[in-house]
Structure 1
Amino acid sequence: MTKKILIVVGTRPNFVKITQFKKVAKNFPGLEVKIAHTGQHYDEKMSAVFLKQFNIEIDYFLGVSATSANSLIGEIIIALENVIQSYEPDILLCVGDVNSTLAAAISANKLGVKLGHLESGLRSLDRQMPEEVNRILTDEISDICFVTEKSGIENLKQIGKAENQIAFVGNTMIDTLVHFNNEIEASSILEEIALKKGKYILVTMHRPRNVDTKEALLKIIDLFKNITNKHLVVFSMHPRTKNSFEKFNFIGELESINQLKIIEPQNYFAFQKLIKYSFCVITDSGGIQEETTFLKIPCITLRENTERPSTLEEGTNVLMPFNTQKIAETILAITNGNFKNGEVPKFWDGNATKRVLETIQNL
Structure 2
Amino acid sequence: MKVVSLVGARPQFIKAFPVSRALADRHEEVLVHTGQHYSEAMSEVFFEELDIPTPEYNLGVGSGTHGQQTGEMVTRFGELIEREEPDTIVVYGDTNSTLAGALVTAKTDAPLAHVEAGLRSHNDAMPEETNRILTDHVSDLLFAPTERGVTNLETEGIENVHLTGDVMYDAILWARTRAADHSTVLDEHDLTAGEYVLTTVHRAGNTDDRERLAAIMRALGAADREVVLPIHPRTADCLDTYGLRETVEEQLTVIEPQGYLDFVRLLDGAERVATDSGGVQKEAFFLDTPCVTLREETEWVETVDAGWNTLVGADEEAIEHELQREITLPEKPELYGDGDAAERMVALLEETDG
Q: If the length of structure 2 is used for normalisation, what is the TM-score?
A: 0.94
Q: Measure, in 2, the Cα distance between the counterparts of 1:243 and 1:268.
A: 22
Q: CA-to-partner distance for each residue in 1:300-328, whole Å, 9 max, x for gaps?
A: 00111111112222362121232233233
Q: Measure, in 2, the Cα distance between the counterparts of 1:119 and 1:11.
A: 15
Q: Measure, in 1, the Cα distance between the counterparts of 2:316 and 2:38.
A: 35
Percent of matched pairs sharing the same residue: 35
Shift of 1:161: 1.3
Could you tell me which residue of structure 2 aligns to residue 119 of structure 1?
116
Q: Measure, in 2, the Cα distance between the counterparts of 1:239 and 1:60.
A: 25
User: 1:7-26 residue pairs with structure 2 within 5 A?
Assistant: 7-26=5-24
Check if 1:152 corresponds to 2:149. yes
Q: CA-to-partner distance for each residue in 1:263-289, whole Å, 9 max, x for gaps?
A: 111111111100001000001100011
SS of the residue aligned with 1:282?
strand
Choose the corresponding residue for 2:320, options 328, 334, 347. 328
Note if contact 1:235-1:261 (Cα within 8 Å) is conserved in structure 2. Answer: yes
Runs ≥4 residues deviating over 3 A: 46-49
User: 1:302-317 residue pairs with structure 2 within 5 A?
Assistant: 302-314=294-306, 316-317=308-309
RMSD: 1.7
Gapped regions of structure 1 (runs ≥ 5): none
Could you tell me which residue of structure 2 aligns to residue 168 of structure 1?
163
Q: Measure, in 1, the Cα distance between the counterparts of 2:110 and 2:315.
A: 47
User: 1:205-216 residue pairs with structure 2 within 5 A?
Assistant: 205-216=201-212
Residues 92 and 255 of structure 1: CA distance in aligned 2, closer, same or farther (over 3 Å): same
SS of the residue aligned with 2:317?
helix
Note if contact 1:8-1:36 (Cα within 8 Å) is conserved in structure 2. Answer: yes
Note if contact 2:213-2:314 (Cα within 8 Å) is conserved in structure 1. Answer: no
Could you tell me which residue of structure 2 aligns to residue 70 of structure 1?
67
Could you tell me which residue of structure 2 aligns to residue 340 of structure 1?
330
Note if contact 1:316-1:343 (Cα within 8 Å) is conserved in structure 2. Answer: no
Matched letter for residue 107 of structure 2: K
Note if contact 1:203-1:235 (Cα within 8 Å) is conserved in structure 2. Answer: yes
Could you tell me which residue of structure 2 aligns to residue 357 of structure 1?
346
Q: Measure, in 2, the Cα distance between the counterparts of 1:278 and 1:178.
A: 17
Choose the corresponding residue for 1:56, options 47, 52, 55. 52
Q: If the length of structure 1 is used for normalisation, what is the TM-score?
A: 0.91
Residues 65 and 346 of structure 1: CA distance in aligned 2, closer, same or farther (over 3 Å): closer
Shift of 1:148: 0.7
Matched residue count: 350
Residues 315 and 173 of structure 1: CA distance in aligned 2, closer, same or farther (over 3 Å): farther
Q: Measure, in 2, the Cα distance between the counterparts of 1:214 and 1:81.
A: 39
Shift of 1:22: 3.0
Choose the corresponding residue for 1:235, options 205, 229, 232. 229
Q: Measure, in 1, the Cα distance between the counterparts of 2:22 and 2:249.
A: 45
User: 1:249-260 residue pairs with structure 2 within 5 A?
Assistant: 249-257=243-251, 260=252
Residues 314 and 221 of structure 1: CA distance in aligned 2, closer, same or farther (over 3 Å): closer
